[in-house]
Amino acid sequence: MQLDDLTTKNGEWLRGVGPESDIVISSRVRLARNLADFPFISRTTAQDRARIEKTLHERVEEVASENDLLYLEMSQLEKVDRQFLVERHLISREHAEGQDARAVAIDAREKFSLMINEEDHLRIQAMQSGLDLNAVWQQVNKLDDLVEEKLTYAFDERLGYLTACPTNVGTGMRVSVMLHLPALVITRQIDKVFRSLQKISLAVRGLYGEGSQAMGDFYQISNQVTLGLSESDLIRRVRDIVPVIIDYERQARDFLVKESHENLHDRVSRAYGILRTAQTISSEETMHLLSSVRMGVNLGLIRDLNIPTINELFIRTQPAHLQKITGGEMETTDRNIERARYLRRYLNKEDGAGPTAEHN
């Protein structure tokens, strides 16, 4: 398999299937691990990093020999390709920008990826569409066991798995669920929800993790602490809160439908209209409008689109994806024109008007 094979596919976490997938986009678990006999990344030499990469590369290939695995060294990739992997959540932004000897192993179905030489020597993550944290935990746990069979992790009896940053020590585990919460944003209740989550030590982040804006009303809820609770307790903590938030979001949608149906319908229809007719459009505006359209589909206000299609547009209209799909690097201005053209073609074909409709 090659990197370009991914451009034609939607990826696991955007399939738009699984429990509660109208609101829960995806479930994800990642583990941070370090080899016991090397310094953490900040104190490594280039030689250390090369040795870590070699050791883990070999191990990862052995472990995932049954899977179709794509192994990529960051230094061999074009900037647009690294950005493409970030947009698909297969690597972190930090990993895309980092120094030498960084690599990633990606499962062809995009159900898991292993980052080598990120903040820690190894980051194992698994993801799945919809709400199913147990399934992703089992996947990650299995990979972790297999990797550990022939390597010694940095581990302390009292503190657990040792990590470069003390915020990850213990289980080294981050459990996260990505939610689409447009109605809570419209009704201005989102901050209240976040404040209550912070009180129970859960973190809220935007679509692309730390420091990223909550684009398209996507929010990731994850555990803040990693020490003093077992893996299953950490999963339970996040899983238990999700139905509560889903319920708030559904109530907010009900409220919008009942109290201001015309406004809501207008908002959704205009968003759809702009996406189908715009001649130039930024990534941010696209995300913003797609968010309304997505909610419109969920509420039955738009009937000629389905959720997997919208999910696909969310990812395919992002800068690196757009450039990969339309073939070639572009400046922002050209990209905005190309994005609008792509949306028109895609959405007008979907409702039966055909790709030629854009010339009328």
Partner 1 sequence: MKCQQCDKQATFHITELTQGKPQEFHLCEDHARQYLASSSTEPEGAAGMAAALAQQIAIGQTAAELAQLDQQACPVCGITFFEFRSQGRLGCPHDYVCFQKQLEPLIVNIHGESRHVGKRPHADAGGSQDRTQLIRLRRELKEAIDDEHYERAGELRDEIQRIEGRRS
Applying CB under 8 A, the residues found at the interface with partner 1 are 34-43, 119, 141, 144-145, 148-150, 152-162, 164-171, 173, 201, 210-211, 225-231, 234
Indicate the residue among 37 and 329 with the shorter CB distance to partner 1: 37
Q: Smallest distance from the beta carbon of 140 to partner 1, in angstroms?
A: 11
Indicate the residue among 43 and 258 with the shorter CB distance to partner 1: 43
Catalogue the long-range contacts made by 273-276 (C-beta closer than 8 Å, 24 or more residues apart).
275/343, 275/347, 276/343, 276/344, 276/347, 276/348
Q: Smallest distance from the beta carbon of 123 to partner 1, in angstroms?
A: 13
Indicate the residue among 154 and 197 with the shorter CB distance to partner 1: 154
- Determine the Cα–Cα distance for residues 93 and 116; give it in Å rounded to an integer: 14
Cβ atoms within 10 Å of 306's Cβ, excluding its own: 13
Contact at 8 Å (CB) between 216 and 287?
yes
- Determine the Cα–Cα distance for residues 238 and 37; give it in Å rounded to an integer: 33
Q: Smallest distance from the beta carbon of 164 to partner 1, in angstroms?
A: 5
Indicate the residue among 233 and 329 with the shorter CB distance to partner 1: 233
Helix 79-87 to helix 319-326 angle, to the nearest 10 degrees? 120
- Determine the Cα–Cα distance for residues 89 and 23; give it in Å rounded to an integer: 18
Indicate the residue among 150 and 192 with the shorter CB distance to partner 1: 150
Contact at 8 Å (CB) between 141 and 126?
no
Q: Smallest distance from the beta carbon of 117 to partner 1, in angstroms?
A: 14
Contact at 8 Å (CB) between 202 and 222?
yes
Q: Smallest distance from the beta carbon of 163 to partner 1, in angstroms?
A: 8
